[in-house]
Amino acid sequence: MHLVEFAFTKPHDAPELSGDVVLAALWSVCDPDDGMEHIRLHTSRAGARGAAFLLAPDEPSAVRQCRAVCRRALAVTAALSAWQLTCPAEA
């Protein structure tokens, strides 16, 4: 199992969201192939930071899997449409 930290930033004028909303968005786009086991999340006025625990063959694969889940959540969740994934950064 691998731990991958992630972070989202949001525009200053975007409404704040509860951790439950962001967490639900992440879980809603997870597939069994993503290897997601657990997500911890903290929201703030700036966006959200979290840690994902993933089953993956190696650290680079876990980072790619986490990035893919985060991007899918941003793409399909209207409340997150203006947010950006800032970590893990593209290699």
Give the domain extent around 19.
2-86
| Closest of 2, 1, 11, 20 to residue 86, by C-alpha | 11
Look at residue 55 in the predicted model and tell me its pLDDT.
96
Look at residue 88 in the predicted model and tell me its pLDDT.
87
State the chain's mean pLDDT as an integer: 94
Residue with tokens 């975007």: 14
Domain count, the chain: 1
How many whole angstroms separate alpha carbon 43 and alpha carbon 54?
Answer: 21
Instruction: Specify if 67 maps to a domain.
Output: yes
How many whole angstroms separate alpha carbon 62 and alpha carbon 33?
Answer: 11
Coil/strand/helix, residue 29: coil
**What's the pTM value of the predicted model, to 2 decimals?**
0.91
> Which tokens belong to 69?
């889940």
Instruction: Specify if 9 maps to a domain.
Output: yes
Look at residue 14 in the predicted model and tell me its pLDDT.
87
Instruction: Specify if 69 maps to a domain.
Output: yes
Any idea what the CATH number is for the domain that residue 76 is in?
3.30.70.1130
Instruction: Specify if 78 maps to a domain.
Output: yes
Instruction: Specify if 76 maps to a domain.
Output: yes
| Closest of 86, 56, 58 to residue 71, by C-alpha | 86
How many whole angstroms separate alpha carbon 91 and alpha carbon 70?
Answer: 15
- Which residue ranges of the chain lie beneath pLDDT 70? 89-91
Look at residue 91 in the predicted model and tell me its pLDDT.
58
Instruction: Specify if 91 maps to a domain.
Output: no
